[in-house]
Amino acid sequence: MAQVQLDPSLLQQCTNKTVLITGAARGIGAATAALFNSHGANVVLADLDRFRDTAESLINTQMNHPERAIFVPGNIVDWAELTQCFKTTVTKFGGIHIVVANAGIMESQPVLDLDSVDENSDLRENAEAERVIDVNLKGTLNNIIEQALRLALHYMKQHPDAQQSLKSILLVGSTSSYFGGTGVTAYIASKHGVLGLLRASQSAAREHSVRVNAIAPFLTPTHITAGFAQRWDEAGLEKNTPEKVADAIALVALDKTRRGNCVMVAGKYLRELESTRSKLLPTWLGEDVAEFMGRAMQFLTSIGGYVLPGKY
């Protein structure tokens, strides 16, 4: 599999573009906001209101163009709050060109802990696992893809001359979108779901001239990985930096030749995973099954997609 070559010259396209980034106060989100802003983009840092001071400090001390950056409270599991976040962005900057769905969390305790029982020896419900699914998957589905597509359509409708403008959504998945051996059950399940959203959103996105791509970072030193980052270093393993991941986010989001891609970022290694997966289907499934599945997908496309059953 060949190393992905990302074109740094694409960053020249950032000037006067508007980028909305969720989970933008810290880590990868903060690095991404600073990168876009340094190349002349308007950036909206959306995050929980408790991170307002952190985000505003970032804007005032690390942004090349602080006048082009704002913080907006944006809890991605709160529909009304995130809707207002999008409205504020459009009001302030006139539209949205790129959405980076970066917000994500990980459970703090094992989800499959069978020793967590109550006084009646009944297994306790794991509310934290539900929160991880809500933020990482439900939040991405309900509040990023749907809103971004609708607002892109609204903007194009209001500004017909801008129909050819950049419209791009970048989903932040993980190597956990593809691999499941690290034991963080809710996180892995949610990131597999983000990969499903990448694949499932392509038809609607293409219809509305919006590109949806993803990246899959491996270990990146943030608050999520603080518990073992030092031991990772001691083992001599490749790792990312938030800035390296931000580079990949920006360049994949800006590259108009990319649609439905997912680029793995693992230290010095950059690999495009979705096109490789497609090429390997005959080997994985067998050529006969791959051919059958191809014909089946063509049929579903010809009838306008899977016919929904309606309410039960």
pLDDT in tens, 5-32: 889 999 999 999 999 998 899 999 999 9
pLDDT in tens, 226-261: 677 788 788 888 888 899 999 999 999 999 999 999
pLDDT in tens, 267-306: 889 999 999 999 999 999 999 999 999 999 999 989 988 8
| Among 34-43, 107-116, 138-147, the range of highest mean pLDDT | 34-43
Higher pLDDT, 257 or 129: 257
The pLDDT score that the predictor gives to residue 111 is 55
The pLDDT score that the predictor gives to residue 174 is 83
The pLDDT score that the predictor gives to residue 59 is 97
Decide: 244 and 268 in contact? Cβ < 8 Å: no
Residue 168 scores a pLDDT above 80:
yes
pLDDT in tens, 174-203: 887 788 776 777 778 778 888 888 988 888
Q: How far is residue 112 from each of residues 42, 119, 297, measured CA to CA in Å?
A: 43, 19, 36
Give alpha helix (H) positions in the chain: 27-38, 52-62, 79-93, 127-133, 139, 146-158, 185-200, 202-207, 229-234, 242-254, 274-285, 287-302
Residue 163 scores a pLDDT above 50:
no
pLDDT above 90 coverage of the chain, percent: 42
CA-CA distance, 68 to 253, in Å (whole number)? Answer: 19
CA-CA distance, 182 to 84, in Å (whole number)? Answer: 37
H or E segment and range at residue 19: strand 18-22
Q: How confident is the model at residue 143 (pLDDT cuts 50, 70, 90)?
A: very low
Residue 159 scores a pLDDT above 60:
no
What's the pTM?
0.84
CA-CA distance, 194 to 200, in Å (whole number)? Answer: 10
Decide: 10 and 163 in contact? Cβ < 8 Å: no
Question: Residue 19's closest CA among 53, 81, 70?
Answer: 70
Residue 35 scores a pLDDT above 90:
yes
Q: How far is residue 177 from each of residues 171, 182, 223, 237, measured CA to CA in Å?
A: 11, 12, 19, 20
**pLDDT mean across residues, the chain:** 82
Residue 136 scores a pLDDT above 60:
no
Q: How confident is the model at residue 129 (pLDDT cuts 50, 70, 90)?
A: low
CA-CA distance, 103 to 33, in Å (whole number)? Answer: 13
Q: How confident is the model at residue 173 (pLDDT cuts 50, 70, 90)?
A: confident
Q: How far is residue 285 from each of residues 67, 125, 261, 289, 291, measured CA to CA in Å?
A: 53, 38, 21, 6, 9
CA-CA distance, 25 to 280, in Å (whole number)? Answer: 39
Q: Work out the average pLDDT over 212-229.
A: 81
